[in-house]
Amino acid sequence: GENVEQHPSTLSVQEGDSAVIKCTYSDSASNYFPWYKQELGKRPQLIIDIRSNVGEKKDQRIAVTLNKTAKHFSLHITETQPEDSAVYFCAAEGFGNEKLTFGTGTRLTIIP
């Protein structure tokens, strides 16, 4: 089955700087890669996703890049703000696979 590894487990960034979280996956058939943000005491929420026919996707301050050959994808957050502090989870799913496999999460702290 699919195995997703996520790094780093914790990340502290000065407000205004950029943050990058990386994930690798094992199943070359996986073709859908969402990212979820979970604030303290709240539910995980989808913030951005990318499919395998696209190498990069951007939505305001967040972007995701995908390297299918290397089987890794990354979340980039620019101009970080205190409200970006949360745990971020990456995930991978193959078409018709009926489930997402999640990474272990990254706790991002933005330092004012």
Interface residues toward another protein, by CB under 8 A: 4, 31-32, 34, 36, 42-46, 49, 51, 89, 93, 95-105
- Kindly tell me which of 37 and 84 has the beta carbon lying closer to another protein: 37
Half-sphere exposure of 66 (CA within 13 A, CB side): 23
**Residue 93: is it exposed, middle or buried by C-beta count within 10 angstroms (0-12/13-18/19+)?**
buried
81/99 Cα distance (integer angstroms) = 32
Q: Tell me the closest approach of the beta carbon of residue 8 to another protein, in angstroms.
A: 14
- Kindly tell me which of 12 and 14 has the beta carbon lying closer to another protein: 12
Q: Tell me the closest approach of the beta carbon of residue 69 to another protein, in angstroms.
A: 20
| Radius of gyration in angstroms for the set of CA atoms belonging to the chain, rounded to a whole number | 13
Q: Tell me the closest approach of the beta carbon of residue 112 to another protein, in angstroms.
A: 26
The answer to whether the beta carbons of residues 18 and 1 sit under 8 Å apart is no
- Kindly tell me which of 74 and 80 has the beta carbon lying closer to another protein: 74
Q: Tell me the closest approach of the beta carbon of residue 102 to another protein, in angstroms.
A: 4
